Amino acid sequence: MKYDTDALKGVKGLTLVSMLIALSAVGAMVKLFNTVALDSTPGYFAALYLGAWYGAIVISLGHLLTAFTSGFPLGIFIHIYIAIQMAIYACLFRYCYERFNSLVGILAATLLNGPLAALLLVPIFGWGFFLGWSLPLSFGSFVNIFLAALIYKGMDKVGGR
């Protein structure tokens, strides 16, 4: 299912993106483990349904909303860094999903937003952080990505728009 670029112009596009950001805010309140929440599902869905850049915006704002509701436990600058990472991962998820298939997209995005994301914070927080966060991040990432792919496939079956 391809997105319609005309549908993203004007009020309709703003409304779609705003609704997905609002859903990210709701998901930010559903914590799976500490700060790992369901905030990313709308962002990954947006990457598939609306395009990579829209997904990047929704997912990064979703992460910042989760960090906000958790009191920015890693500090605001680290959470901005994580939000940028997640924006990149949403774009790569869409690329892998379209280039290969849904399974490759789900696996790649889970590995990127799980162990790789934790590994990129080792210089700041050390190996203990990596060991403690790799599994929860991987689990949370998989849940968010799988739900986004499932919703996207479901919309494709019922007619999309």
Domain residue ranges of the chain, discontinuous segments joined by +: 5-158
| Euclidean distance between CA atoms 81 and 74, whole angstroms | 11
**Does 160 have pLDDT greater than 70?**
no
Query: What pLDDT is stored for residue 84 in this prediction?
Result: 98
Could you tell me which of 143, 82, 147, 137 has the C-alpha nearest to residue 111? Answer: 137
Query: What pLDDT is stored for residue 8 in this prediction?
Result: 63
Query: What pLDDT is stored for residue 44 in this prediction?
Result: 98
| Euclidean distance between CA atoms 108 and 112, whole angstroms | 6
Query: What pLDDT is stored for residue 142 in this prediction?
Result: 98
Region for residue 101 given its phi and psi (left: phi exceeds 0; alpha: psi -120 to 50; beta: otherwise): beta
Over residues 93-142, the pLDDT tens digits come to: 999 999 999 999 999 999 999 999 999 999 999 999 999 999 999 999 99
User: How would residue 12 be classed by pLDDT, with cut points 50, 70 and 90?
Assistant: confident
Phi, psi at residue 58, to the nearest 5°?
Answer: -65, -45
**Does 161 have pLDDT greater than 70?**
no
Residue corresponding to tokens 């990127």: 112
Round the average pLDDT of the chain to a whole number and report it: 92
Residue corresponding to tokens 């500490």: 34
The architecture CATH gives domain 5-158: Orthogonal Bundle (1.10)
pTM given for the model? 0.91
Residue 21 in contact with residue 58, Cβ under 8 Å?
A: yes
